[in-house]
């Protein structure tokens, strides 16, 4: 039985999964295997057409693999009935898919209604979710999707997917259609939510920067759904498996140093919101300015972080290393820059 409490994640295993839509075309997904730990936030990054969406749809059983096995919390996904999966797997897509003729409250209530929840329980949950995605007040519940901005609609999409508190979230370029500022806000909000939710998340993106900020681990895929590297953001940054992965990261010391800091910022800010520790947005802004200066002067990442430590006494290299899941002092200059 899939656990339905938000604190206990469930694991997902894909074993030699293939999918052919058409016998005369190459397989959309070819012999794909991956092990996702309970509560892990996994990013799938790869070129268009490499099979990311197909993989998500197979985990969700919207489509079935041609061969191979998908195990969710120890059970073959094909043995689980679709309504059970809808309840236990939240699905967010780029096109949002809100029903235009339904209010925001009705859109969020779709799964609770399918599950036969009482009116009161559903109304309470809608209120709770709107607050969670910062759409409380402003009569959002009674509005129709077209009366919301793209970013607000995307938040409703996230709220709707969270309605039955599923232990697994599949997110297929959920913020892809939003402008960079809204996207960054949604990313930070979602990271903050995940701090308390501990859900098992598979998140597809084209944006490597987004992958670095959000993921516990990133799977870099090549055409033909082959995993080129599957590792933590810090390890991928400091030790890309090959030229192909490097090309995703971008060239140059400054970019990589700043990417490291962006990852640290994304990881530390949610924690600071929860604990009111000193890592305020302003603190990070100061940090970023100081880093920009050192990077512009051609500084090495460790020098950048030393400068950061000097400027912002509250954030030490240890803490940033913790956030990154790697000791930044151990990144060799050749690898790190």
In the complex, the residues that contact ligand ATP under the rule CB under 6 A are 21-22, 28, 46, 48-54
Query: Taking the complex as a whole, how short is the minimal distance between the CB of residue 232 and ligand ATP, in angstroms?
Result: 22
58 versus 105: smaller Cβ distance to ligand ATP: 58
Query: Taking the complex as a whole, how short is the minimal distance between the CB of residue 36 and ligand ATP, in angstroms?
Result: 18
26 versus 316: smaller Cβ distance to ligand ATP: 26
In contact, 188 and 16? CB cutoff 8 Å: no
Residues 6 or more apart whose Cβ sits within 8 Å of residue 242: 228, 229
DSSP H helical ranges for the chain: 52-59, 82-88, 104-108, 110-114, 119-132, 150-162, 180-197, 208-214, 233-238, 243-249, 253-275, 281-296, 301-311, 317-324, 333-336
21 versus 244: smaller Cβ distance to ligand ATP: 21
Expressed in angstroms, the distance from the first to the final Cα of the chain is 47
50: phi then psi, degrees, rounded to nearest 5: -85, 0
Query: Taking the complex as a whole, how short is the minimal distance between the CB of residue 293 and ligand ATP, in angstroms?
Result: 37
Query: Taking the complex as a whole, how short is the minimal distance between the CB of residue 63 and ligand ATP, in angstroms?
Result: 8
Separation of alpha carbons 24 and 11, rounded Å? 34
Residues 6 or more apart whose Cβ sits within 8 Å of residue 276: none
110 versus 228: smaller Cβ distance to ligand ATP: 228
Residues 6 or more apart whose Cβ sits within 8 Å of residue 223: 46, 47, 49, 50
23 versus 139: smaller Cβ distance to ligand ATP: 23
**Between β-strands 168-172 and 226-231, what pairing exists: parallel, antiparallel or unpaired?**
unpaired
36 versus 50: smaller Cβ distance to ligand ATP: 50
DSSP structure string for 26-56: --SEEEEEEEE-TT-EEEEE--TTSSHHHHH
In contact, 136 and 127? CB cutoff 8 Å: yes
Token pair belonging to 23: 């016998």
Query: Taking the complex as a whole, how short is the minimal distance between the CB of residue 203 and ligand ATP, in angstroms?
Result: 13
Burial class (CB in 10 A: 0-12, 13-18, 19+), 26: exposed
Query: Taking the complex as a whole, how short is the minimal distance between the CB of residue 249 and ligand ATP, in angstroms?
Result: 19
51 versus 270: smaller Cβ distance to ligand ATP: 51
Query: Taking the complex as a whole, how short is the minimal distance between the CB of residue 219 and ligand ATP, in angstroms?
Result: 12
140 versus 175: smaller Cβ distance to ligand ATP: 175
Query: Taking the complex as a whole, how short is the minimal distance between the CB of residue 105 and ligand ATP, in angstroms?
Result: 31
């Amino acid at each position: 039985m899939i656990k339905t409490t938000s604190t206990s994640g469930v694991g997902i295993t894909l074993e030699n999964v293939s999918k052919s839509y058409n016998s005369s075309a190459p397989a959309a997904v070819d012999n794909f295997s991956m092990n996702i730990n309970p509560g892990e936030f996994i990013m799938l990054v790869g070129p268009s057409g490499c099979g990311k969406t197909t993989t998500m749809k197979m985990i969700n059983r919207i489509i079935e693999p041609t061969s191979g096995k998908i195990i969710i919390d120890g059970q073959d996904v094909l043995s689980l009935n679709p309504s059970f999966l809808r309840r236990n797997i939240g699905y967010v897509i780029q096109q949002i898919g809100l029903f235009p003729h339904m209010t925001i409250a009705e859109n969020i209530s779709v799964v609770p209604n399918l599950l036969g929840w009482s009116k009161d329980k559903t109304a309470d949950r809608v209120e709770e979710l709107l607050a969670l995605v910062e759409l409380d007040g402003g009569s959002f519940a009674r509005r129709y999707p077209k009366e919301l901005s793209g970013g607000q609609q995307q938040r409703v999409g996230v709220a709707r997917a969270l309605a039955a508190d599923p232990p697994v979230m599949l997110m297929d370029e959920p913020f892809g259609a939003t402008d960079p500022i809204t996207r960054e806000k949604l990313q930070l909000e979602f990271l903050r939510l995940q701090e308390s939710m501990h859900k098992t998340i598979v998140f597809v993106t084209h944006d490597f920067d987004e992958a670095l900020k959000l993921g516990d681990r990133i799977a870099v895929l090549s055409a033909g759904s082959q995993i080129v590297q599957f590792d933590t953001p810090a390890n991928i940054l400091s030790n890309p498996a090959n030229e192909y992965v490097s090309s995703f990261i971008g060239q140059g010391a400054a970019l990589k140093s700043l990417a490291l800091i962006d990852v640290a910022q994304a990881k530390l800010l949610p924690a600071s919101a929860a604990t009111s520790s000193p890592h305020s947005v302003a603190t990070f802004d100061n940090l970023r300015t100081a880093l920009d200066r050192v990077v512009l002067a051609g500084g090495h990442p460790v020098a950048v972080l030393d400068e950061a430590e000097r400027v912002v006494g509250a954030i030490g290299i240890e803490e940033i290393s913790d956030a990154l899941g790697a000791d930044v002092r151990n990144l060799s200059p050749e690898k790190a820059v």
